[in-house]
Chain A
Amino acid sequence: MLTLENIHAGYGATTILHDVSLDVQAGEVVTIVGANGAGKTTTLRAIAGQIRPTSGHIYFEGRDITKLAAHDVVDLGITMIPEGRQLFPDMTVRDNLMLGAFRSGARSVQNETLDYVLDLFPRVSERMDQMASSLSGGEQQMVAIARGMMAKPRLLMFDEPSLGLAPIIVEQVFEVVKKVAASGATVLIVEQNVFTTLQSADRGYVLENGEIALSDTAEALLSNDHVRRAYLGI
């Protein structure tokens, strides 16, 4: 479904990603784990069209999307739930969700999608008319995920959904990720929370200093010596 081929990318003259190749099959939950600064967000931003790779190719459903503008990538069905939620602070939760359904493929069915999404997030449905900025961090993360789902994406990318959340909320977030996956969406999730993420994923890539150091099934990675030493502290 999604393939990255020898991607080099960065900011200005600084190259962050070196020769990154990975793929995600339809229906899978794939994770990219790595330390802070490894280049996880940069990878997602390259896929989302927010930065342009200096070399390499990105294919989505057979189509070369390497040079597409960010809004065109969204139109194709790739939605990113960004690090730090990035809600529209001075808008209601409802307007935030409606903006999630902005892309052409989601607009016509936005009311059905809203019902479906609110079913998944009862907490969000209680907050519909509040300003997004008035919600707690955990609630904001739920709204960010709900907003991402409103786009009815074929590929949903999560950038560190557990960052800055209390452990109990983190658990809820991963429950939701599982539900999203169960609903048939393909998921690419980026995390520093290596253990929990690998437990919810099918396959994983380990990103170190902008390079793919390892890739395997989630199960195999959980028992991999290097992963256990470097990321799980075992």
Chain B
Amino acid sequence: MLETFLQVVVNGLMLGGLFAIISIGLTTIFGIIKVVNFAHGEFLMAGMFLTWLFTTKLGLHPYAAVVVVAPVLFVLGGLTQKLLIQPLMNARDEHIQIFATVGLSTAMINLALLIYGADIANTPAYGLRTPLEFGPIRVLEGQLFILGAAILLVIGMELFLRRSRTGLAIRAVAQNRTAAQLMGINVNWIYVLSFGLGAACVGIASVLVAPLYPTSSNIGTYFVLIAFVVVILGGWGSIPGAFVGAMVIGLIDSLSGFYIGADLREAVVFGVFLVILILRPSGLFGTKQKLSHIS
């Protein structure tokens, strides 16, 4: 009984780690640029395909792919800001940015279909799908690494944003972009950098997720909904919030799946999500955010 309960809780925490790692980039980009990246899932998809390519072609451990995938996604994110979002930043209708990232998402899915087709790409697991046993509790090695990486990434991002000079400039831009400009901060560059950083976080997530989940052109669509739930629950733009939100959703998912029934799992998750949002409309850690970057 107790052992089963513990196992279900541990499963929930592991799931939470997964939800956290795929959400950090989304909330980072929104928190700073106030742009919702609807292509977030496809960034993950691109990162996972790259990880697969790297692992199968070079015969290296998928985690080693991070040295390629994170920088490539950094550049992809930076270019998205520079070439797609920035030209639209002064558009009178901010919904245009939504269309832009939705369009990017569709384009990336179709590009993946064109290049790879509709098949599934399996990244070699290198033992990451092997269960580890801690007494009666079993977890996959890869899941533990995901949770550990999620914790480290949250701490790392917070330290960077709070302690470094660049982090200070980023927070300044996020709080008041006009004033940041008056301090001599190159606001457009900070936006490019921040989009790149958020995308690089997705890159880190990709190499961790790829060995556990089969990659396909629609894998982004599969993960992105839960990332949105987590980020909204945590409070848009809050990185620790996303982590806590992910844990909450992971635990509810696991507990309800086991004790209420696997087919009701999603209903319970979204039910609790809606209740929390009704009680706290700006999320667990959120401040009132406007979907606008115009200050």
Task: Render B166-209 as a binary contact track against A, CB cut-off 8 A, 1 for contact.
Answer: 00110110011011111111110000000000000000000000
- The answer to the question of A210 belonging to the interface, with a C-beta cut-off of 8 Å to chain B, is no
User: Closest approach, in angstroms, between the C-beta of B123 and any C-beta of chain A?
Assistant: 41
**Total number of A residues with any Cβ neighbor in B under 8 Å:** 25
Q: Which of A88, A98, A99, A100 has the most CB of B within 10 A?
A: A99
Contacts of A151 in B (CB 8 A): 183-184
A75 touching B184 in the complex, CB below 8 Å, given contacts A82-B179, A88-B179: yes
User: Closest approach, in angstroms, between the C-beta of A75 and any C-beta of chain B?
Assistant: 6
Contact of B183 among A69, A90, A99 (CB under 8 A): A99
What's the Cα separation between A48 and B185 when bound, in Å?
13
Contact of B178 with A86 in the complex, beta carbons under 8 Å = yes
User: Closest approach, in angstroms, between the C-beta of B169 and any C-beta of chain A?
Assistant: 7
What's the Cα separation between A100 and B182 when bound, in Å?
9
A102 touching B185 in the complex, CB below 8 Å, given contacts A82-B179, A88-B179: yes
Contact of B185 with A89 in the complex, beta carbons under 8 Å = no
A88 touching B172 in the complex, CB below 8 Å, given contacts A69-B186, A71-B186, A71-B187: yes
What's the Cα separation between A89 and B287 when bound, in Å?
13
The chain B residue with its CB closest to the CB of A79 is B182
The chain B residue with its CB closest to the CB of A98 is B168
- The answer to the question of A87 belonging to the interface, with a C-beta cut-off of 8 Å to chain B, is yes
Contact of B175 with A102 in the complex, beta carbons under 8 Å = no
What's the Cα separation between A69 and B182 when bound, in Å?
11
- The answer to the question of A74 belonging to the interface, with a C-beta cut-off of 8 Å to chain B, is yes
A positions within 8 Å CB-CB of B: 48, 50, 69-71, 74-75, 79-80, 82, 86-91, 95, 98-100, 102-104, 147, 151
B positions within 8 Å CB-CB of A: 168-169, 171-172, 175-176, 178-187, 287
Known contacts A99-B168, A99-B183, then 16 further A-B pairs from the complex at CB < 8 Å, ordered by chain A residue: A69-B186, A71-B181, A71-B187, A79-B182, A80-B182, A82-B179, A86-B178, A87-B176, A87-B179, A88-B176, A88-B179, A89-B176, A99-B169, A99-B172, A102-B183, A147-B183
